[in-house]
């Protein structure tokens, strides 16, 4: 029997093991992993290379209309192409509802865009901004049951935020249908109050964006959200943790048995609020929410990742060009409040983290694989993704651990700038396979737009309540009142 492809003589890494072996592919899946496998129609020499699962980036905004009505800079084609160049082979992006839009239509629209452009496999978070009765009682459960097993809500941003009551509605609907609830958690009132005072006094430069998001706003929203999770016994994912205090709140809640997950992103580990402080409006390129914080926060986040308090590393890819179509859409003298939030991150998420974790020795190869591929695939129930195992999808990235690259303004997304330009990293994904097909080799991509596939997800472990309802939430049992 002849395999389709054999990747030979590499060092294979999973979230638990690192070992030298050949890896064979038949069709779209991994057929064998072993010491000396028989030949394949195609042989890939991986001597002195690492053979890793393709990265799984579960937080990226692609071809998405922002709350402010601004289209982000990427199409599914440009975003997923850039992901592939960085060794990432699966994404979860957002089907983003706006007020007045019907969620089921929104999902159809985003799915059509992805079907046309995506070059890697993709799933959707159901982003709810209009939790009316039709959404909460009909569309949301139906879409969850159809395999979109995660819901996203914002606790801030005027155009998309949900109230506490609405958040509870969405969480209860997710609980009924079986979905993880992902949340952008910052206190809306604090952000508004701070930014209005800053702008009124003329503090409008990009660096004041960081000032306008006090760390207490994150801490307060985490506490409130966790209280809701505890009340309803509904699992949640806290997006983009940025502060030491926020990580501590999560650790504390997990310690008392609340089922919550959390992520952080490369920019919170590798940047600080100083990155916003540049001449003129230049700092707008680094505006994202929550903002970058301090070196002490970086250390606390690394520690939280090492301890398992945070389980996922995502990019929060949200590309806007540094021109009137994006960051500078509000005219000549914009305030930080009018500048689109977000940075491109899909392409460099893995190279930056490989360098920080593996090359600089912070955590090691298996932890890198776990945080950037295996854990996100498990928590979000992406079938066949995130690990190298027999029967799994043959999504493979072959890394040269010695290659040094000075990052330039040459990313394959459409943001037009690289927020990490000028840094040097060691370790680079040179060859990338998606379901057995070589899609990146020698700096060239070969993947047809639309060849990526929609990932529908079963209701997995992360979506399941613990089964320990708080007394208040179970009035039927306690008081004979049927509220749900």
Binding positions for ligand DUC, rule: CB under 6 A: 61, 184, 288-289, 316, 318, 341-342
Residue 414 contact partner, candidates ligand DUC, Zn ion, none, CB within 5 to 8 A by sort of partner: none
Of 125, 184, 321, 457, the residue at the interface with Zn ion (CB under 5 A) is 184
By CB under 5 A, tell whether 194 contacts Zn ion: no
Please, what is the angle between helix 103-117 and helix 76-85, to 10°? 60
- Given the complex with ligand DUC, which of 341 and 374 has the nearer CB atom? 341
**SS3 category, 281:** coil
Distance CA 174, CA 160 (A): 18
- Given the complex with Zn ion, which of 268 and 302 has the nearer CB atom? 268
Distance CA 229, CA 78 (A): 36
- Given the complex with ligand DUC, which of 10 and 206 has the nearer CB atom? 206
Residue 37 contact partner, candidates Zn ion, ligand DUC, none, CB within 5 to 8 A by sort of partner: none
The DSSP call for residue 136 is: I
By CB under 5 A, tell whether 148 contacts Zn ion: no
**SS3 category, 439:** strand
Q: Encode burial over 330-362: b for 16+ CB neighbours within 10 A, e otherwise.
A: eeeebbbbbbbbbbbbbbbbbbbbbbbbbbeeb
Distance CA 203, CA 198 (A): 5
Query: x/- string (CB under 5 A) for Zn ion, residues 313-352?
Result: ---x------------------------------------
Residue 288 contact partner, candidates ligand DUC, Zn ion, none, CB within 5 to 8 A by sort of partner: ligand DUC
Query: x/- string (CB under 5 A) for Zn ion, residues 114-143?
Result: ----------------------------x-
- Output the smallest distance, CB 317 to ligand DUC, in A: 8
DSSP string, 34-87: ESSPPPEEEEEE-TT-EEEEPEEE--B--S-B-TTSPBPS--HHHHHHHHHHTT
**345, 88 contact by CB (below 8 A):** no
By CB under 5 A, tell whether 363 contacts Zn ion: no
- Output the smallest distance, CB 398 to Zn ion, in A: 29
> In this chain, which stretch among 209-217, 312-320, 366-374, 387-395 interacts with Zn ion, using CB under 5 A?
312-320
- Output the smallest distance, CB 211 to ligand DUC, in A: 16
């Amino acid at each position: 029997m002849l395999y389709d492809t054999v990747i030979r003589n590499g060092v294979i890494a999973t979230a638990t093991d690192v070992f030298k072996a050949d890896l064979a592919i038949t069709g779209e899946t991994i057929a064998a992993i072993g010491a000396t496998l028989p030949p394949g129609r195609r042989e890939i020499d991986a001597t002195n290379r690492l053979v890793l699962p393709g990265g799984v980036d579960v937080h990226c905004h692609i071809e998405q209309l922002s709350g402010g009505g601004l289209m982000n800079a990427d199409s599914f084609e440009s975003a997923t192409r850039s992901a592939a160049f960085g060794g990432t082979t699966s994404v979860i992006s957002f089907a983003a509802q706006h007020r007045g839009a019907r969620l089921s239509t929104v999902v159809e629209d985003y799915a059509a865009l992805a079907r046309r452009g995506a070059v890697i496999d993709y799933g959707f978070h159901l982003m709810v901004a209009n939790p009316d009765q039709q959404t909460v009682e009909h569309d949301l459960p139906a879409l969850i049951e159809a395999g979109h097993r995660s819901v996203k809500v914002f606790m801030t941003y005027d155009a998309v935020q949900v109230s506490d009551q609405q958040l509870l509605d969405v969480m209860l609907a997710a609980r009924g249908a079986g979905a993880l609830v992902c949340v952008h958690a910052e206190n809306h009132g604090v952000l508004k109050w701070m930014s209005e005072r800053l702008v009124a006094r003329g503090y409008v430069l990009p660096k004041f964006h960081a000032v306008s998001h006090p760390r207490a706003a994150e801490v307060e929203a985490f506490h409130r959200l966790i209280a809701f999770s505890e009340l309803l016994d509904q699992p949640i994912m806290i997006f983009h943790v940025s502060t030491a205090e926020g990580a501590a709140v999560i650790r504390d809640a997990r310690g008392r048995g609340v089922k919550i997950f959390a992520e952080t992103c490369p920019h919170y580990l590798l940047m600080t609020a100083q990155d916003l402080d540049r001449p003129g409006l230049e700092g707008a390129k680094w505006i994202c929410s929550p903002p970058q914080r301090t070196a002490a926060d970086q250390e606390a986040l690394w520690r939280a990742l090492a301890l398992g308090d945070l389980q996922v590393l995502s990019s929060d890819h949200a590309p806007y060009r540094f021109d009137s179509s994006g960051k500078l859409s509000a005219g000549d003298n914009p305030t930080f409040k009018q500048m689109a939030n977000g940075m491109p991150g899909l392409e460099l998420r893995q190279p930056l983290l490989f360098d920080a974790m593996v090359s600089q020795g912070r955590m090691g190869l298996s932890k890198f694989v776990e945080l950037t591929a295996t854990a996100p695939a498990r928590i979000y129930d992406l079938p066949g993704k995130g690990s190298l195992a027999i029967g799994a999808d043959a999504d493979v990235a072959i890394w040269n651990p010695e290659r040094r690259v000075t990052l330039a303004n040459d990313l394959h997304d459409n943001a037009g700038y690289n927020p990490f330009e000028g840094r040097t990293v060691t370790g680079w994904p040179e060859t990338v396979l998606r379901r057995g097909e070589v899609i990146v080799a020698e700096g060239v991509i070969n993947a047809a737009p639309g060849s990526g596939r929609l990932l529908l997800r079963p209701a997995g472990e992360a979506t399941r309540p613990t089964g320990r309802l708080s007394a208040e939430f179970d009035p039927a049992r306690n008081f004979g009142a049927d509220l749900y």
